[in-house]
Amino acid sequence: MKWQIDSDRPVYKQLIEQTEQAIVSGIFSPGERLPSVRDLAAEAGVNPNTMQRALAELERSGILYSQRTSGRFITDDEEMIDKLRYQKAEEDARTFFDNMKKLDLSADEIARLLRAIFEEDKDEKSASNE
Amino acid sequence: MNSTADLLKCEDLTKKFGKDTALDNISFSLDPGHIVGLLGPNGAGKTTLIKMAAGLLTPTSGAILIDGDAPGVYSKGIVSYLPERTYLNESMTPDQTIKFFSDFYEDFDPERAGEMMESLNVNRTKPVKNLSKGTKEKLQLILVMSRKARLYLLDEPIGGVDPAARDYILNTILQNYEEDATVIISTHLIADVEQILDEVLFLQDGKLILQESVDTIREERGLSVDETFREVFRC
């Protein structure tokens, strides 16, 4: 997967977010075995200790689990993954909403804007399917 | 040999050159398994500290201990040192240099060195003197990282190489250091290396002014290590 580390926030937090993102968007499937800490760290270009910290935290939240001998796995609890997906969507929506408020847009205007983008996206998809 | 947890320990370490104090009463210790940035403006004492850990300079007062021992025969077997200047025999080719290092260091892995040379496009049959400055730097770093050492001392390892090679080299460091080894990287190119660091030491005028984990710096200051450096050392 593609990792993108920004410079101003703790690296382990970004690793947690991006791993969660990869899980909810299906890059990692439920029950899938994760590569080793070292391989993941090399792929992300980060320190293995930092990657270890991020994975340990994801384990604590139950999204990952480890088996002593065979490594670390994505949870196969799809309900939990769905919950995480909704939680991430809500976070993003809140950020979006805050940004729109800063631009002084009303709820109606925001809704209209979203609908327009949604329609555009639908058109593009049907056009590319033809 | 020793079972102490501190791989590198400095106790009230001071180094004077005549009247000049290069290192002023420095105390810190490093555990195995970390990649540590040694950062500070020019003349802060970074190279002096590294040279003392490598056993090339002796303390004026205080102590520096590698795995519990003062630098010497034992420490040289477990420390892999990249000096800031080239020390290679200019008339040897990279292949001959690899052979030389294999004979010299018990923990040298010639296969690993060969693989890295392929990936970094180092010409293996030209004499070192005919290689470009950047290629020489790559070769030196390859030699240093091809040892299975416990402590790597890298003095400005990426200064002269292009950004693409830089990425590869940082990756090489990440993948090749042993899990219980510690890597100390001194550099001015903080933004390029800070992702792979887990801890930094800030030196200023021979004094240690900060030893902190990278994520703690980011968390507490909301700044990258690079930005923190620019703030702390604003001219």
Encode pLDDT of B201-215 as tens digits: 999 999 999 999 999
Is A6 part of a structural domain of the chain?
A: no
| Record: contact A42-B171, CB cut-off 8 A | yes
What percent of chain B has a predicted confidence (pLDDT) above 90?
A: 70
Domain range spanning residue B103?
A: 8-232
Predicted ipTM of the assembly: 0.76
- Of the ranges A97-101, A107-111, B9-13, the best mean pLDDT one: B9-13
Q: Chain B contact for A117, CB < 8 A?
A: no
- Residue B111 Cα distances to B19, B116, B126, B134, angstroms: 47, 9, 19, 22
Percent of chain A's residues with pLDDT above 70: 98
Q: Give the β-pairing of B8-17 and B61-66.
A: antiparallel
What are the residues whose beta carbons fall under 8 Å from the beta carbon of A47, sequence distance 6 or more?
A11, A41, B34, B35, B174, B195, B196, B197, B198, B214
Q: Give the end of a domain, one of A56, A76, A96.
A: A76
CA B86, chain centre distance (Å): 14
Beta carbons of B160 and B137 less than 8 angstroms apart: yes
CB B170 within 8 A of CB B192: yes
**A72 and A105 within one domain:** no
Residue B4 pLDDT more than 90? Answer: no
pLDDT at B137: 87
Query: For residues B3 and A129, what is the distance between their CA atoms, to the nearest angstrom?
Result: 66
- Per-residue model confidence as pLDDT tens digits over A69-91: 889 999 999 999 999 999 999 99
Domain count, chain B: 1
Q: How confident is the model at residue A111 (pLDDT cuts 50, 70, 90)?
A: very high
Domain boundaries, position A123: 79-129
Same domain, A87 and A51: no
Which residue is closest to B32 within chain A, CA to CA? A49
Residue B172 pLDDT class (50, 70, 90 cuts): confident
CB spacing of A8 vs B167 below 8 angstroms: no
For residues A28-51, average pLDDT? 92
pLDDT in tens, B103-123: 999 999 999 999 989 988 899
Q: Which residues of B touch A41 (CB under 8 A)?
A: 174
Which residues in chain A are contacts of B214 at CB distance < 8 A?
Answer: 11, 47, 50
pLDDT of B165 reads 81
Segment A4-33 mean pLDDT: 92
Q: CA separation (Å) from B124 to A103, B37, B94, B120, B132?
A: 60, 31, 5, 11, 13
Q: Do A8 and B227 touch (CB under 8 A)?
A: yes
The residue that leads in pLDDT, B86 or B19, is B19
- What is the average pLDDT value for chain A, to the nearest integer? 91
CB atoms within 10 A of CB B107: 13
Among candidates B174, B194, B226 on the partner chain, residue whose Cβ is nearest the Cβ of A41: B174
User: Which residues of chain B have a CB within 8 Å of the CB of A42?
Assistant: 171, 174-175
**pLDDT in the model for residue B77:** 92
Nearest CB among A9, A13, A49 relative to B198 is that of A49
- A64 or B42, higher pLDDT: A64
Q: What is the DSSP letter of B183?
A: E
pLDDT of residue A130: 60
A43 touches chain B (CB under 8 A): no
Q: Which has more pLDDT, A6 or B153? A: B153
With tokens 């001015």, the residue in question is: B188
Query: Which of helix, strand or coil describes residue B60?
Result: coil
pLDDT on residue B2:
46
Residue B133 included in any domain: yes
Mean pLDDT of chain B: 91
- Model confidence, pTM: 0.85
Cα–Cα dist B96/B44, whole Å: 37
Cβ pair A8:B191 closer than 8 A = no
On whether any CB of chain B is under 8 Å from the CB of A4, the answer is no
Q: Is the pLDDT of residue B1 over 60?
A: no
CATH code at B148? Answer: 3.40.50.300
In a domain, A30, yes or no: yes
Give backbone dihedrals phi and psi of A54, rounded to 5 degrees, phi first.
-65, -45
Number of domains in chain A: 2
